[in-house]
Amino acid sequence: MSPTPRDPAATAVRAEFEKGDGAAGPGTGGAAAGVGAGAGSTGGTTAGVAAENAAGRPRRRRPAWAGRPAVLWIGAVVSVLVSAWCVTAGTTNAGLLDVWHAVRLRVFGGVLTEDFSQTYSVIINLRLPRVLLAFAAGAALSLAGVVMQGLLRNPLVSPFTLGVSPAAAFGAALAILLTGGSAGSGSWLVIGCALGTALGVSALVLGLASAKAMSAATLLLLGIALTQLFEAMTAALQFVADENTLQAIVRWTFGSVNDAGWSDVGLVGACTVAALPLLLWFSRDLNAIAFAGDDAAKSLGVHVTAVRVGLIVVSVVLAAVVVSFCGVIGFVGLVGPHIARLAIGADHRYLLPFSFLTGGLLLVVADTVGRTVLAPSVIPVGIVVAFIGAPVFINLILTRRAAQ
């Protein structure tokens, strides 16, 4: 059923499509505000206009998107500074100047003095790839969460809703079991099996959804069923594994960036950086689907089925790559997008890049806490991010309910 002209979400989204990105109107940020505020927002707007007319001094309103580029730039600067500080955290005394000096030597070359060689090795070979891998993995999971929540119009959806994480865990556990535990969590055999299983299950789910013309709700239910199935299959593998193999499987399922190397950073980072401009290209289509619904988006010329399947494939690949290299890491794809919405709004043109930053920072900070709070012992990042993410997410749910 097509939306009526009084539907604020459909009207705002249609205005964005007709005026383009340079329009002075609120765009999809206004649409999100219209959906969240409902009739109360409309009444408040009418009252504000009446008050301005009564005073005889109508004020020029600031566009809803004004200031968001500045927020993005501030977020980028904060991300760089916090990540650099996280590189310095640890038992070795290394400051920000040491990090800058080590990076400069790595990139531009120079003379490495003997008294700086140990600090250089720790920064370049251990801490820097660990921080960069954590940032890239968190950014990828957060991007995947934004896309899934927008396409399925459900704020509680995560990148693993379609069974990506349990499928990858099963593939990795099977590889570890078949090798008797000799294949470590960072071996290419485990990574390949985890990635292949996750992508295969995702292709199966999307194929069934396309063939059966499933709705978004039915797709979610299918993902939940597959999640339970693969969790049971992984538990069955653990049941028949010996002590050493069981320990290797459990260590992988914790989620960790302990074995981070420059090859891991290159692969995960390349996938994440390549996905961001692709997702931004479809940000207006994503706005139309998320704010106005399928019917209104179709009336605006959006190929809803093709966009939904294509973007879900991108988000699934991002999540599968991260899980394959870092193990199972939850809550980032849920909490990262919500934190970004609080800071910059729901317009995906700005929400996508800001979620990139918030997800990366969340995982970097969680990993830094895990390797320093009980040093020299290292707590896997999957455990730390669960302790951080669960209270934050509960607070977001309670705040959302109170606002409604």
Contact between 341 and 68 (Cβ < 8 Å): no
pLDDT of 32 reads 40
- Sign, CA dihedral 368-370-373-375, equals negative
What's the rounded mean pLDDT across residues 313-340?
85
Extents of the domains making up the chain? 8-55, 68-403
pLDDT of 182 reads 58
Give me the phi and psi of 63, to 5 degrees please.
-55, 145
Quick: pLDDT tens for 66-117: 577 888 899 899 999 999 899 888 777 778 888 888 888 888 887 778 888 8
Report how far residue 134's alpha carbon sits from residue 307's, in angstroms, rounded to the nearest whole number: 29
Helix (H) or strand (E) holding 124: none
Report how far residue 251's alpha carbon sits from residue 246's, in angstroms, rounded to the nearest whole number: 8
Quick: pLDDT tens for 346-359: 888 999 999 999 99
Report how far residue 272's alpha carbon sits from residue 141's, in angstroms, rounded to the nearest whole number: 9
pLDDT band at 17 (very low <50, low <70, confident <90, very high): low
pLDDT band at 140 (very low <50, low <70, confident <90, very high): very high
Contact between 334 and 156 (Cβ < 8 Å): yes
Question: With 50 as the cut, is the pLDDT of residue 188 above it?
Answer: yes
Output the CATH code of domain 68-403: 1.10.3470.10
Average pLDDT, the chain: 77
HSE toward the beta carbon, residue 138, CA cutoff 13 A: 32
pLDDT band at 65 (very low <50, low <70, confident <90, very high): low
- Sign, CA dihedral 4-43-338-19, equals positive
Report how far residue 127's alpha carbon sits from residue 102's, in angstroms, rounded to the nearest whole number: 11
What's the rounded mean pLDDT across residues 17-41?
40
Nearest Cα to Cα of residue 249 among 323, 324, 175: 175
Q: Read off the pTM.
A: 0.78
What's the rounded mean pLDDT across residues 247-266?
83
